Chain A
Amino acid sequence: MSGILGLMDIAKRALAAEQLGVEVTSHNISNVNTPGFSRQIVYFETSMALPSPYGSLGFGVDVTGIERAFSSFIVARLDQNTAFLGENKTIKSNLDQVASLFNETQATGMTELFTAFWDAWHALADNPSGAGERQALLTQAQNLADAFSSRADQLVQSRTAITQQIGPTIEQINNLAAQVAQLNGEIVSLEVNGEMANDLRDKRNLALNKLSELAGINYYTSGDGTISVSLPNGASLVESVHSWDLSYTITPSDTVSILWNGPGGATTDVTSSLRGGELSALVQVRDTLITQYQSDLDDIAQELIAQVNSQHSQGVGLDLYTDTTSSYFVTTADLAAPLINNPSLSFGDRIAAGQFTIHVEDGSGGTVATNIAIGAGTTLNDLATALNAVPNLSASIVTSGNENRLQITAAAGYSFGFSQDTSNVLMALGLNNFFIGDSAWTIGVNDTLINNADLIAAGTIDPATGDHPPGDNSNALLLAEMGEQTVAPGGLTFSDAYQQFVTNIGLDAEDAGNKQTYYQGLVDQFTQMRESVSGVSLDEELSNLIKFQRAYQAAAKMVTTADELLQTLLTLKE
């Protein structure tokens, strides 16, 4: 259809095409700051040429479509690294909080409290009868015990705080999966007639990126334009227009287990197969890292309690006991079991066959020493009976609820002390002990000593004479020297064991920090690459705007020209 009217038609379609160009450009400019937006490009092509007597005649412009500038390869790499970044970022930020509990770069760290504790024993050894030294030792020991328990408490709180983050994170994952499934549906219905749902696809890519940050995922595009998402172990989160939820439970052993709720009510524990993403980091920090720190800290506290008590129970203070009750207890169910390896006693495994000596002293300094043997089958009752048989001493088992404790009482005017315990039974039962408790959380200073500092065992009872002069510092000296001995977990000194513990936390945090930096670099780079392809350049769009505007003006001029041609033709008749 050549001719003037054909000319009009070319101009009309050119106008429409350039206007579309302006519209797409405007859309691009408007979305310059929209996250996940990919710039869109209008594709033009020449229209089908028409035959004319002089050969085929061009017939203007056609719009073939609007497409987004998008590289699925770059975005896939970006999402993958986003997952690792999300994981390490979360580990790092949570570990930083944990590490701040053990920040030994500043004064008042636990190292200082440890050395102050041993120093206080040294001071007591220097002056074994000094009331001031005894009081100072109690204060330092309490500071150390408080430091242990407050840190143990903070670790528990850290885990609780992480547990509280897990729920919302899973909810976000479920929402994003549902969003992807819904977008899948919308995209399919929009694209059914061959169009590209550019903006919806952008939205879906953005949702996938957010999802990657929360959980490491695999996804692939199927032929109908939908994207299927699955966890690393293959459990499907999104399949076409369906999505499946994750949930979590706390197991009896206080670990988090992440459950995948698949079709038909099937649930699978996917905790161990999570790779990358915040969720995996939260589980890892809560159930691997912090639990490790807790058990390391407990090990140190436990060994401190055992070692200090084991030595302390061998000694004697300035005063003897008139009565004392064991700080650890045996449950009623375990009463019949021997003391050695008794499951009720935290330190039951440290009791060995052996004996200890109990010295009963009358008011005028005369003492009677009795050896009490601990054998493989000795029960708490046997021990009470043996002690009860000692003249001027009565021993019984005090029961409160399920807890059975050994109480030893001297007859009026008598007092008693211990020495030469080769069985460790005094330590394990909590008789003549310095510390109470069996973990970082429960460690404390024995109240009996707090009430009477003269019971701190700086000296020992001479097994031959029953003498216990006030200037005897032998036990305090052994305790002071314990600070430098390699009796802590790992064959280290207590200071070194704690130092190693702190260094390990520091190294974990540093490692997560390094990984975070590494993946941040990758994510930055892939983001740059993505933006290089998909990002809007205002200068580019502005020049396009002018380009389309000028073309539009020219097309309009074509209409005018065609119109003038037509008028010229019409005036021929007059």
Chain B
Amino acid sequence: MRVSMPTIFMSIQSQLQRLAEELQYTNAQISTGHKYQQISDDPVQVGGLMGLNVETSQVAQYKSNLDTAQSWLSATETALTNINTLVSATASLAEQMATGTYTAQQRAAAAQQVQQYMEEFMQMGNSRYQGHYILSGYRIDTEPFTMQPFAIQPPEMHLQAGSDGAATSSGTYTGSSSVTYIIEIVSGGATGAATYRVSEDGGQTWSATNTTAVGPLAIGADGAEVNFNGGSANWVAGDRFTISVYQPITYQGDDNSLELSSGRGSRMAVSTVGSEAVGGAGGPNDLFQIMAHLKSNLEANDPAGVGARLEELRDYQGHLTSFLAGLGASLNRVEVKQNAYDTLNEELTQNIAKKGDTDLVEAATSLANKQLAYQAALQSSTQIMRMSLLDFM
């Protein structure tokens, strides 16, 4: 091929330009630390990197959600564990009181203690995390357990064999402390014929004997009333029933449990519904109701009733234990997930580094190579450019 001046200079220029471009690219890779400077450098790889980055930040978000989950679960676990401990204490008190060796005074004192326990249960149930009540479902701004005004409870009947007496309670309580009235039939017969007497201190002292009536008949001085059912009711001497007056504790939250996103398409419930775990909404596992009953039984000096409450307490403890076990399992799940995300995060970071970060050794070697090539090109170009026939004329 014939070589002309433009041929020589054009090829020198284009080759130097190409080498300079490559040098610049490698230099940018080294100085930024990124393998790719523009999406067109390798769109598919850059797209893959974007995906990895999205995944990394998602993992970070899930980890942060799990942190929140852990706080909720731990706070709930603490509250429920405290309740459990106190339930044990109550149970051992009830166990003592269920035996016949205690006097009515001792049981009345125990009733006071039960009242205090009950208030403690309420406080424990009203635990907060970051200012939010943890046991009230979505109603995080509402105390889950509150003490209601004094309420006169329906009678609890202890009838003799052959008796079919029935009674209801009514009235508005005006007193300021809880009390359990024992109503005992002194002489049997139909309502209107039978007589009764009332005790406010567990049967230690009794009121004067009165004749039963459909009522309402006042019992005590604080507004409580009893209604003996009329009709064919036939009382037997020795029939007893108790009417308790106390401040019931009820649940104010709702049935929702807070869920957090713990992974792609997976949610985790982190809050426990107070009415299910502790009570306040009735049912067999309502701790507050059991406690109120227990207290009434103690006030009524009723060891058999206390024994029955003890059974209920033990059942409740089993129920609570299953909640605690559930919380433990959830906490464990959080931990397992956290670990899994840590591992995943590490892998993702490595993957991103491998795909997107400049391999410094490789880049430095390539830079050295290109530098050498550039220098060689400069040298040979100057040699060629210098050559001319003019030098010899």
Tell whether, in the assembled complex, residue A122 and residue B261 are in contact, meaning their CB atoms are under 8 Å apart: yes
Report which of A33, A459, A499, A506 forms a contact with B138, defined as CB distance below 8 A: A459
Closest beta carbon of chain B to A96's beta carbon, Å: 7
CA distance in complex: A374, B50 (Å): 42
Closest beta carbon of chain B to A551's beta carbon, Å: 17
CA distance in complex: A130, B271 (Å): 17
Segment of B30-38, B92-100, B188-196, B278-286 in the binding face: B30-38
CA distance in complex: A112, B49 (Å): 12
Closest beta carbon of chain B to A572's beta carbon, Å: 44
Tell whether, in the assembled complex, residue A499 and residue B51 are in contact, meaning their CB atoms are under 8 Å apart: yes
> B133: nearest residue on chain A (CB-CB)?
A471
CA distance in complex: A232, B68 (Å): 68
Tell whether, in the assembled complex, residue A99 and residue B267 are in contact, meaning their CB atoms are under 8 Å apart: no
Closest beta carbon of chain A to B300's beta carbon, Å: 38
Segment of A212-220, A234-242, A262-270, A534-542 in the binding face: A534-542
Question: Is B207's beta carbon under 8 Å from chain A?
Answer: no
Segment of B5-13, B290-298, B333-341 in the binding face: B5-13
CA distance in complex: A116, B51 (Å): 14
Which residues of B137-172 are within 8 A (CB) of A? 137-142
Tell whether, in the assembled complex, residue A106 and residue B34 are in contact, meaning their CB atoms are under 8 Å apart: yes
Question: Is A288's beta carbon under 8 Å from chain B?
Answer: no
Tell whether, in the assembled complex, residue A104 and residue B50 are in contact, meaning their CB atoms are under 8 Å apart: yes
Tell whether, in the assembled complex, residue A531 and residue B6 are in contact, meaning their CB atoms are under 8 Å apart: yes
Report which of B4, B38, B57, B130 forms a contact with A119, defined as CB distance below 8 A: B57
Question: Is A532's beta carbon under 8 Å from chain B?
Answer: yes
Interface centre among B2, B36, B49, B136 (most CB of A within 10 A): B2
CA distance in complex: A467, B60 (Å): 33
Give chain A residues whose Cβ lies under 8 Å from the Cβ of B10.
524, 527-528, 531
Tell whether, in the assembled complex, residue A531 and residue B4 are in contact, meaning their CB atoms are under 8 Å apart: yes
Tell whether, in the assembled complex, residue B393 and residue A95 are in contact, meaning their CB atoms are under 8 Å apart: no
> A500: nearest residue on chain B (CB-CB)?
B47
Tell whether, in the assembled complex, residue B2 and residue A537 are in contact, meaning their CB atoms are under 8 Å apart: yes
Closest beta carbon of chain A to B232's beta carbon, Å: 43
CA distance in complex: A537, B265 (Å): 74
- How many interface residues does A have (CB within 8 Å)? 70
Segment of A145-153, A346-354, A473-481 in the binding face: A473-481
Once A105-B39, A535-B4 are accepted as A-B contacts, the answer to whether A477 and B256 lie under 8 Å apart by CB is no
Tell whether, in the assembled complex, residue B53 and residue A543 are in contact, meaning their CB atoms are under 8 Å apart: no
Question: Is A503's beta carbon under 8 Å from chain B?
Answer: yes
- How many interface residues does B have (CB within 8 Å)? 58
Can you list, as one digit per residue, whether each of A501-532 has a CB less than 8 Å from chain B (1) or not (0)?
01111110110010000000000100110011
Tell whether, in the assembled complex, residue B57 and residue A532 are in contact, meaning their CB atoms are under 8 Å apart: no
Closest beta carbon of chain A to B61's beta carbon, Å: 5
Question: Is B46's beta carbon under 8 Å from chain A?
Answer: yes
Tell whether, in the assembled complex, residue A104 and residue B260 are in contact, meaning their CB atoms are under 8 Å apart: no
Tell whether, in the assembled complex, residue A484 and residue B58 are in contact, meaning their CB atoms are under 8 Å apart: yes
Which residues of A488-502 are within 8 A (CB) of B? 495-496, 498-500, 502
Tell whether, in the assembled complex, residue A502 and residue B39 are in contact, meaning their CB atoms are under 8 Å apart: yes
Give chain B residues whose Cβ lies under 8 Å from the Cβ of A510.
40-43
Tell whether, in the assembled complex, residue A32 and residue B5 are in contact, meaning their CB atoms are under 8 Å apart: yes
Question: Is A367's beta carbon under 8 Å from chain B?
Answer: no
Question: Is A552's beta carbon under 8 Å from chain B?
Answer: no
Footprint of B on A, CB under 8 Å?
A: 32-33, 39, 95-96, 99-100, 102-106, 109, 111-112, 114-116, 118-119, 122-123, 125-127, 129, 459, 462, 467, 469-474, 477, 480-481, 483-484, 495-496, 498-500, 502-507, 509-510, 513, 524, 527-528, 531-540, 542-543, 546
Q: A115-B58, A126-B65, A536-B6 are in contact. List 17 more A-B contacts (CB 8 A).
A: A32-B6, A39-B4, A95-B40, A111-B50, A126-B260, A469-B140, A470-B138, A470-B139, A471-B132, A471-B258, A483-B58, A495-B51, A496-B51, A503-B46, A509-B43, A535-B7, A542-B393
28 contacts between A and B (CB under 8 A): A95-B40, A96-B40, A99-B38, A99-B39, A99-B40, A105-B38, A112-B57, A118-B61, A122-B61, A122-B65, A129-B140, A129-B141, A471-B132, A471-B138, A472-B256, A473-B258, A474-B259, A495-B50, A496-B51, A507-B43, A524-B10, A527-B10, A528-B10, A531-B7, A532-B1, A537-B3, A539-B389, A542-B390
